[in-house]
């Protein structure tokens, strides 16, 4: 009996340790926690950006504590991260830049003039070819948004007001994808 118990126990521990601390969404494993500087963040929620029934990317929202009020998150001056994992080879740099332009138009109700240079800087992140499995981390902390691709810092952009407009792309009144927004808010 002992000879059977030990292998089963080892398999249980191995299997549990591989899945502990991860949430799977659309075939992508999102860590349940991450650190930004000295701050620990928790996965608030995540979802899939779809267009015409095609999965484009998985998005996750990390906050210092769980929150389901989108406007409170947009307005919060505290560390947070939007994580994007590209799951489709159909996303191109051009399409992503177009989507970002549209997102800022909606997020700012067409008032992009105050953010024009910052938006151009943000769009430059997508100038390199985008491939399936590329990841983007959009991290806000200390009045600065830092954007990384595949773990490598690309640029930083100053300003809380820019952060509000940027996070509004996914969490605003007219989000990029309503189901993704609800998922990021932990509501579905």
Q: What is the pLDDT of residues 67-78, one digit of tens each?
A: 999 999 999 999
- The pLDDT value recorded for residue 56 is 87
DSSP-H helix ranges across the chain: 2-19, 70-75, 93-107, 116-123, 160-171, 178-184
- The pLDDT value recorded for residue 7 is 38
Q: Quick check: 160 and 149 in contact, CB under 8 A?
A: no
For the chain, the domains span: 23-184
Q: Which CATH architecture has domain 23-184?
A: 3-Layer(bba) Sandwich (3.50)
CB atoms within 10 A of CB 176: 22
- The pLDDT value recorded for residue 140 is 97
Q: Quick check: 155 and 118 in contact, CB under 8 A?
A: no
- The pLDDT value recorded for residue 169 is 97
Beta strand 144-149 pairing with 28-31: unpaired
Residue 37: which residues within 8 A CB-CB, separation 6 or more? 79, 141, 142
CA–CA gap between residue 78 and residue 3 (Å, rounded): 53
Please state the pTM of the whole predicted model: 0.87
> Taking Cα atoms as reference points, which of 71, 62, 67 lies closest to residue 40?
62
CB-count exposure of residue 117 (10 Å: 0-12, 13-18, 19+): exposed
Residue 13: which residues within 8 A CB-CB, separation 6 or more? none
CA–CA gap between residue 114 and residue 118 (Å, rounded): 9
Q: Quick check: 175 and 181 in contact, CB under 8 A?
A: yes
Segments of the chain with pLDDT less than 70: 1-20
Give me the residue label for tokens 């659309």: 26
CA–CA gap between residue 145 and residue 97 (Å, rounded): 18
Q: First CA to last CA across the chain, in angstroms?
A: 44
- The pLDDT value recorded for residue 45 is 95
């Amino acid at each position: 009996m002992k000879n059977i118990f030990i292998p089963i126990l080892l398999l249980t521990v191995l299997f549990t340790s591989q899945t502990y601390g991860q949430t799977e969404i659309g075939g992508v494993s999102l860590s349940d926690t991450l650190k930004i500087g000295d701050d620990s963040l928790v996965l608030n929620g995540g979802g899939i950006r779809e267009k015409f029934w095609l999965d484009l990317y998985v998005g996750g929202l990390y906050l210092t504590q769980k929150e389901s009020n989108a406007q409170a998150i947009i307005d919060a001056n505290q560390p947070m991260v939007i994580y994007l994992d590209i799951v489709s080879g159909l996303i191109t740099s051009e399409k992503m830049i177009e989507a970002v332009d549209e997102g800022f138009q909606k997020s700012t109700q067409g008032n992009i003039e105050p953010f024009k240079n910052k938006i151009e800087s943000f769009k430059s992140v997508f100038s390199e070819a985008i491939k399936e499995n590329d990841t983007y981390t959009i991290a806000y902390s200390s009045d600065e948004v830092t954007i990384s691709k595949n773990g490598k810092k690309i640029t930083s952009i100053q300003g809380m007001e820019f952060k509000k407009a940027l996070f509004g792309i996914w969490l605003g009144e007219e989000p990029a994808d309503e189901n993704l927004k609800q998922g990021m808010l932990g509501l579905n």
